[in-house]
């Protein structure tokens, strides 16, 4: 069992923008790597929880709670540092425009605006020690931004609430905290020293060599 603890400040969020949203974003901001920008501007995240929904099952005696549905812990909230071009907000506004038309209020095809997301926990050497993949992700709420004249030394943050259907833990190779170093074998004696130790120059017992040849070892 590995010793030590993990820091909540060491994590990664990898969000792949769906094609419909990415097309709208590039029309406004140009053909840049917006997924890369969101990767570095993500300031807070969380690892969602899960549970089971139960219903009482009374047959005889005390009530037994029987599970009947798998549940996940609501929405996923991510917070991003806002750049001077407000892209961390506009990206998700344009993504939402690809979900429902702001002109006709028609909803688009689900496969066109949903995506997957990866959240990883890192150790002190930036190795991934735990990783989950979230499925059917899309922005559900662009949370309001508080503005105040008293916060002159702070910067703007944008919080986004995402819907996801489920998550699965990704199997990754366990990080070795202390690597095993095999001991260095002792050199095999030769010549006179081998003869004194009762082994030949190949390290084999002297009994395996005929008596008439042992004197040459």
Q: What is the pLDDT of residue 58?
A: 85
In a domain, 61, yes or no: yes
pLDDT band at residue 154 under the 50/70/90 scheme: very high
Burial of 176: CB neighbours in 10 Å, binned 0-12, 13-18, 19+: exposed
Q: Residues 83, 160: one domain? A: yes
Place of tokens 């916060």: 151
| Banded pLDDT at 175 (limits 50, 70, 90) | very low
Q: Is the pLDDT of residue 163 over 90?
A: yes
With bands split at pLDDT 50, 70 and 90, how would you rate the model's confidence at 185? Answer: low
Within this chain, do residues 85 and 153 fall inside the same structural domain, yes or no?
A: yes
Domains in the chain, number: 2
Q: Could you tell me if residue 182 is inside a domain?
A: no
Secondary structure letter of residue 181 according to DSSP: -
Provide the 8-state DSSP code for 171. P
177 band by pLDDT with thresholds 50, 70 and 90: very low
Confidence of residue 39 (pLDDT cuts 50, 70, 90): very high
- Asked whether residue 205 is assigned to any structural domain, the reply reads yes
Q: Which two tokens stand for residue 164?
A: 């996801």
Cβ contact 163:75 at 8 Å? yes
pLDDT at 173 (0 to 100): 63
Q: What percentage of the chain carries pLDDT values higher than 70?
A: 78
Q: Do 215 and 156 sit in the same domain of this protein?
A: no
Q: What is the mean pLDDT of residues 18-41?
A: 91
CATH of the domain at 26: 2.30.110
Spatial separation of the C-alpha atoms in residues 51 and 65, rounded to whole Å: 14
Residue 214 phi, psi dihedral angles, 5° rounding: -65, -30
Mean pLDDT score across all residues of the chain: 84
What is the pTM for the complete model shown? Answer: 0.73
190 and 196 Cβ atoms separated by less than 8 Å: no
Residues 68 and 40 in one domain: yes
Higher-confidence residue: 178 or 160? 160
66 and 17 within one domain: yes
| pLDDT tens readout for residues 11-28 | 999 999 999 999 999 998
Judge if 164 and 205 occupy the same domain: no
Same domain, 28 and 67: yes
User: Average pLDDT in the 105-125 region?
Assistant: 94
Does a structural domain hold residue 135? yes
* 204: pLDDT strictly greater than 90: no
Helix 34-41 × helix 19-29 angle, to 10°: 90
Whole-number Å distance between alpha carbons of 46 and 42: 11
- Separation of alpha carbons 209 and 202, rounded Å: 11
Same domain, 113 and 215: no
CA 200 distance to own-chain centroid: 56
Instruction: Look up the domain containing 142 and give its range.
Output: 11-169
156 and 49 within one domain: yes
Residue 176 above 50 pLDDT? no
Task: Tell me, yes or no, whether 95 lies in a domain.
Answer: yes
């Amino acid at each position: 069992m590995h010793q030590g603890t993990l820091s909540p400040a060491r994590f990664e969020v990898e969000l792949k923008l769906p094609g419909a949203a990415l097309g709208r974003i590039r029309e406004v901001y140009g053909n840049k790597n917006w997924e890369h920008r969101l990767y570095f501007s993500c300031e807070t995240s969380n690892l969602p929880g899960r549970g089971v929904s139960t219903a009482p099952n009374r047959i005889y005696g005390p009530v037994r709670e029987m599970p009947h549905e798998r549940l996940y812990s609501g929405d996923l909230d991510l917070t991003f540092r806002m750049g001077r071009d407000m892209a961390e907000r506009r990206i998700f506004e344009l993504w939402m425009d690809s979900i429902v038309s702001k002109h006709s209020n028609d909803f688009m095809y689900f496969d066109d605006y949903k995506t997957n997301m990866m959240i990883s926990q890192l150790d002190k050497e930036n190795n991934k020690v735990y990783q989950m993949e979230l499925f059917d992700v899309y922005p559900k709420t662009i949370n309001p931004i508080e503005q105040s004249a008293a916060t002159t030394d702070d910067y703007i943050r944008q919080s986004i609430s995402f819907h996801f259907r489920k998550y699965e833990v990704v199997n990754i190779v366990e990080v070795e905290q202390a690597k095993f170093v095999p001991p260095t074998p002792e050199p095999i004696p030769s010549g006179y020293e081998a003869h004194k130790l009762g082994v030949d120059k190949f390290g084999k017992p002297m009994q395996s060599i005929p008596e008439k040849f042992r004197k040459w070892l």
